[in-house]
Structure 1
Amino acid sequence: MKLPKTILVLTFISTAAGCATSEPVAYEGLASAAQLRPDTSDKTGRSPYSYRTQTDWRQYNKVIVEPVTVYRGKDGQFGKMAEDDRFKLASYMQGKFAQVLQQRYAVVSAPGPATLRVRATLTGGKTTDPVLGPLSHIDVAGGVYNTVQSARGKEGSMTGSASYAVEVYDSVSNQLLLAYVEKQYPNALNIGANFAPMKASYVAIDKGANDLLARLR
């Protein structure tokens, strides 16, 4: 017996909401964990904890991008993401962050004047369900749910994501200038990001790299 369409829609939305991953936390294994505080200015829910000093970012024109590490703390949020996928995502993050930061900074390898040091840590990730991910973005019920989520700037149904922490230091003094934890994911209406298990996580990293560059203003 077929269920009425209204029941199918409500069932789908309930399932999608129940599958949403948790928001990032102030991961206790981070060097900046003691400095991170709830960020009341974040209205998106993607970056609930941060730390920032009064910094004139214009005084910096070079950056060291440290190798991205995979977080090993018990409060990590990788769920069922395979170990190999975690390392691949961290490697991609390393290259993408360096590529985007190069738009404004010379990427260097040694500390020096006017040089920032960026440390990024991949703290969590979620792959897209290979069946429900694509289906939920072409199905009528999924379209309704994801349209609402897109308007709210929230996570789409059955889609992947990436969570990470960024710590930015003065390379000479080692003073912590900026730190935050963040979760990124594709726009809920980005259908193309849901047709491969890891695609959404890579899109999330792309967004995260651009977000970092915007913060260094």
Structure 2
Amino acid sequence: MKKSGQSVRLVAAAACLGITLAGCSNVQPVKYAGIASSPSLRADAQDRSWRVPYEYAAQVNWSTYRSAILDPVTIYQGADHQFGDMSTPDKSALASYMQTTFEKKLRTRFDLANTPAPNTLRLRLTLTGGATTTPVISTLSRFDIAGGLYNGVQAVRGREGTFTGYVMYAVEIYDASTNRLLRAYVSKQYPNPMNIGASFGSLSAAKTGIDKGADALVAQLD
């Protein structure tokens, strides 16, 4: 029992230390040099959530587009990637989940196509970074007093919680028939800090971020 109590105190201490450092340890996406649309991206000073720090947007009437082509999700190989020590299998799992999730969400708005045609979009998604959730500590940090307060504030601010995974990616949207760039952005997505379910499993938070990113994309194209 004594050893068990000491372990709990060590975990709590680690959580408190993480809370102290979390404000200065958040990693933000960059203008990835290997992304085709990178020269067109501009910093978005209005993005207070830090979810879309760089973007490009042309004047587009999205209602004229009825179909969409979703290219296979690619895993970014550039030297400025932000995967940290994420394993190759985890990257592949996230890319596969992103493909399935974005395809499912796009079907709610478009007919998915395979060949370029008028009134058709082409979307290219590139997985550029991510992090796994720290097991056990992520969940416990939602329940101790300091962690609960910190994560509650982060939830209100729309920011990240403690010891939680995330995903980073680039979206490029073209007119399929002309190859004209219509919109592009890089994004970082993560779950609400008080989403306890997303703190279980090493990739659960990153996958929740993909879910949110897919919803956000389709909302932009309505």
What band does the TM-score fall into relative to the shorter chain? over 0.9
1:140 is displaced (CA, Å) by 1.9
Residues 13 and 116 of structure 1, relative CA distance in 2, 3 Å threshold: same
Residues 114 and 25 of structure 1, relative CA distance in 2, 3 Å threshold: same
Q: Does 1:152 align with 2:157?
A: yes
Normalised TM-score (structure 1): 0.93
Paired with 1:9 and 1:101, the residues of 2 have a C-alpha distance of 38
Which of the numbers 17, 22, 25 marks the counterpart of 1:16?
Answer: 22
1:5-154 to 2 correspondences below 5 Å: 11-18=17-24, 20-154=25-159
1:163 is displaced (CA, Å) by 0.3
Normalised TM-score (structure 2): 0.91
Q: How many residue pairs get matched?
A: 212
**For each residue in 1:178-201, what CA deviation from the matched residue of structure 2 results, as whole angstroms up to 9, or x when unmatched?**
000000000011011001111001
Partner letter of residue 23 of structure 2? Answer: A
1:9 is displaced (CA, Å) by 8.2
Paired with 1:58 and 1:216, the residues of 2 have a C-alpha distance of 8
8 A contact 1:12–1:141 mirrored in 2: no
Paired with 1:140 and 1:81, the residues of 2 have a C-alpha distance of 30
Paired with 2:84 and 2:23, the residues of 1 have a C-alpha distance of 17
Residues 12 and 160 of structure 1, relative CA distance in 2, 3 Å threshold: closer
Which of the numbers 171, 177, 181 marks the counterpart of 2:182?
Answer: 177
Paired with 2:95 and 2:15, the residues of 1 have a C-alpha distance of 36
Secondary structure in 1 aligned to 2:172?
A: strand
C-alpha RMSD of matched pairs (Å): 1.7
**Percent identity of the aligned residues?**
48
Partner letter of residue 22 of structure 2? Answer: A
Paired with 1:71 and 1:12, the residues of 2 have a C-alpha distance of 29
Paired with 2:87 and 2:171, the residues of 1 have a C-alpha distance of 22
Deviates more, 1:30-39 or 1:132-141: 132-141
8 A contact 1:62–1:108 mirrored in 2: yes
1:160 is displaced (CA, Å) by 0.4
**For each residue in 1:95-153, what CA deviation from the matched residue of structure 2 results, as whole angstroms up to 9, or x when unmatched?**
10010011110011111111000000000000001132112122222111100100110
